[in-house]
Amino acid sequence: MNRPRLADVLRETATGATPQTVAARLGLDPGLVEAMVDHAQRVGLVWTPTCTSCTASLPTCAGCPLSRG
Amino acid sequence: MKFSWGEDLPVVARMTAKIRRDDPAEPAPDRDVVVALVGNPNSGKSTLFNCLTGAHQVVVNAPGTTVEVAAQAWKDTAVQLLDLPGAYSLVAHSPGEELTTHAVTGDDAADLVIVVVDATALSRSLYLAGQVGLTGTPVVVAVTMSDIAAGRGVTIDTEALAHLLGVDVVEVDPRTGAGVGQLAAAVSDALVAPRHLHLDAAPAADAAVHEHPLAQVDPRFADAEALFAWVADVQTQVASTPPVRPSRSDRVDGWLMRPWVGVPVFLLVLAAVFQLVTVVAAPAMDAVRWIVADWAGAWVTRGLDAAGAPAWVVGFVTDGLLVGVATVASFVPLIAVVFLAVGALEDSGYLSRASFVADRAMRHLGLDGRAVLPVVVGFGCNLSALASLRTLPSARQRALTALLLPFTSCTARLVVYLMLATVFFPSYAGLVVLAMYVLSAVLVVTVGFVLRHTGFRDLRHEPLVMALPAYQRPRLGALASSATSRTATLVTAAGKVIIVTLALMWLAMAIPVTGGHHFGDVPTADSVHGRATEAIAAVFGPAGFADGGAASALVTGIVAKEVVAGSLAQTYGSDDEPWTDGLRATFERTSGGHGAAAGLAFCVFVLVYTPCLATVAELGRQVGWRAATGSVVASLALAWTLAVIVFQVGARL
């Protein structure tokens, strides 16, 4: 396994690659890449297009494509 | 026993402190000891806890609900064993992870941590183990799921792992009890002679990492880099892993992430969705409206007449209340189909790809990538999108995005497009609706570009990465359940506003101003409503819909956009013809024979003009009333200009 560099992982993730593809491109373990992306998300460097603060039971959120129903 | 997550004090602190206070003078070693189980979710931690304590409890750890931690004496000892909520990291992201983090790092931290390492997810487990090791807490490692990992071609050399980590490593199978005795012995030894994880071997981060832009954003960047290098180093030495190949999901993305493929495909998908909605929902909407307004209306009219009710009461019930109820009821099939279709796109992971494309556009505008989230939310509801702006860190970013959100086409406007498109463009209504969404996106990008290069030149670009989930098969049961609850919520909330507004509108249409008519029996032109909308209607002459009914619908749409369609139905419906025929005939007349162009111009005006009152109020709160008023005035001017352009061009084609 190659030495994992967070910057490389984030650069590949920014191209739209999923952890599996990033792992294949960089010669890393997919689980390790998932952990790296997850860590970056926790410290605010990465975000995912999901809304975690609302609920479809609210009228203002019911029509939202990202709310959790 | 079980403890629940307290209001403000982590339960473990109370619990470990309580255990110690039981005998503060001379605490016996076998009563004073707290051992905590720490591991990823679904790593077999709770099964191990049951095996070690003889308990039969099931621990529920649901995000957003009560977090529970189980505590029980280790079999045949007085050692208290804690089963902490599953955690992926000590950089806590949920109440459960906060609890686990506190149990390891707090003032009353556990005396020893058993890190449960899932052999099927070695990297993630080692990452967590490394974080626990960095706290300085004594550690014993229990490896679970080895049989499942072996089935996948992954084997772990536990002796080599123990050598590298510098602590005892025991392979256990909590379901059979295999290895539990060795684990107990290892814990016993570690309590007498605590051993700490060896992280000295962790390779230092490259010097260049400190220069990376992301390292400037977060100083822990370099520390994380070193920890992951250590994880990779350990994993390489102790585990055999099969080669990695790109998944099918990635091969699909290889094409869809290319802008010149992804954007047209996304437009095709949207067109298909809207066409599906018009083909499936439109007939259902007509049927529902006929049942409620016509069939039930006739029964109600006969009943009221038989009861001797005055004519105005009959008119209020049938033309005021029932039209409102029919409008609300007719939304149900439409909204349900939209939610099913959009839900399938979201559940499959495809909507995230659309967000990714939008994210790139946002960056070209100089906006924070996170601005795409409120913009996508805006296509559901502008109000909730404004509320979601709190995810943006900068006040200037929030202000700029807030000014763009009214141009995102919310679900309420979709209802108006669909109804008008089926009236004026029955053969290709789906494409007309799609055109409205494309125009909405163009407006967001154009207005964003203009604002970014005028009043918002000072915005800084912040490095931020968007991660995509893998594709998955949509779950039909969850989709149906979600669409049902969303439809019920939206229709109930909007229904109240629609029915009340349409009832008030009926009153305005029933009160005579000129002509000596009686209350409830007055031509629209001679009513309060007719006189009030007459002046406004003249403004829309160049857009082809200079009619009091259309103007009235737009005015009521300021309360809520859902009311527009109901208002049109109320104004243009009569005993002789359905409202759709009345609307078509009126627009043909006001446009000089170009009714379709006028209908399209009306849709454009609905897209661009003032959002609903609740959104304007929230906008005022977010950006100040001066900017909000400017936004409302500018959107009215832009809506009128675009509607005029669309009509004038459309009438000449």
The ipTM (two decimal places) reads 0.83
Q: Which helix (DSSP H) or strand (DSSP E) does residue B146 occupy?
A: helix B146-151
Per CB-CB distance under 8 Å, the chain A contacts of B492 are: 59
What number of C-beta contacts closer than 8 Å exist between A and B? 229
What residues have CB less than 8 Å from A59, skipping those under 6 apart?
B489, B490, B492, B493, B494
Per-residue pLDDT of chain A (69 residues; tens, 9 = 90+): 667 888 888 888 888 788 888 888 888 888 899 899 888 888 877 776 665 555 555 555 666 666 655
Cα–chain-centroid distance for residue B308? 52
Mean pLDDT score of chain B, rounded to an integer? 81
Q: Which of A9, A45, A50 to mutate to test the interface with B (most CBs of B within 10 A)?
A: A45
Per-residue pLDDT of B53-104, as tens digits, reads: 887 654 444 333 345 677 888 887 778 888 888 899 998 877 788 888 888 8
Eight-state DSSP code of residue B210: G
Q: Do B384 and A66 touch (CB under 8 A)?
A: no
Q: Do B384 and A61 touch (CB under 8 A)?
A: yes
List the one residue out of B355, B352, B379, B362 whose CA is nearest residue B436. B379
Mean pLDDT value of segment B527-534: 85
Q: Do A7 and B209 touch (CB under 8 A)?
A: yes
The interface residues of chain B toward chain A in range 390-419, judged by CB-CB distance below 8 A, are 390-391, 410-412
Q: Which of A2, A39, A46, A58 to mutate to test the interface with B (most CBs of B within 10 A)?
A: A39
Q: Do A29 and B376 touch (CB under 8 A)?
A: no
pLDDT at B196 over 80: yes
SS3 assignment, position B137: coil
Q: Do B225 and A5 touch (CB under 8 A)?
A: yes
Name the phi and psi angles at B520, rounded to 5.
Answer: 85, -5
- Say what angle helices B548-556 and B528-539 make with each other, to 10 degrees: 90
Are the C-beta atoms of B187 and B76 separated by less than 8 Å? Answer: no
Decide which of A35 and B389 is more confident.
A35
High-pLDDT (> 90) share of chain B, %: 24
Eight-state DSSP code of residue B6: P
Per-residue pLDDT of B557-592, as tens digits, reads: 888 787 898 888 888 877 677 888 999 999 999 999
Per-residue pLDDT of B535-558, as tens digits, reads: 889 999 999 999 988 998 998 888
The interface residues of chain B toward chain A in range 426-485, judged by CB-CB distance below 8 A, are 463-470, 481-483, 485
Q: Do B494 and A61 touch (CB under 8 A)?
A: no
Residue type, B157: D
pLDDT of residue B393: 65
Smallest Cβ distance to B468: which of A18, A32, A44?
A18
Q: How far apart are CA B567 and CA B499, in angstroms?
A: 10
Decide which of B20 and B235 is more confident.
B235
**B257: number of Cβ within 10 Å:** 18
pLDDT of residue A58: 58
Per-residue pLDDT of B133-148, as tens digits, reads: 988 899 999 999 998 8
pLDDT of residue B613: 82
Name the phi and psi angles at B544, rounded to 5.
Answer: 90, 5
pLDDT at B278 over 80: no
Lowest mean pLDDT among A25-34, B274-283, B396-405, B547-556: B274-283
High-pLDDT (> 70) share of chain B, %: 86
Q: Do A23 and B244 touch (CB under 8 A)?
A: yes
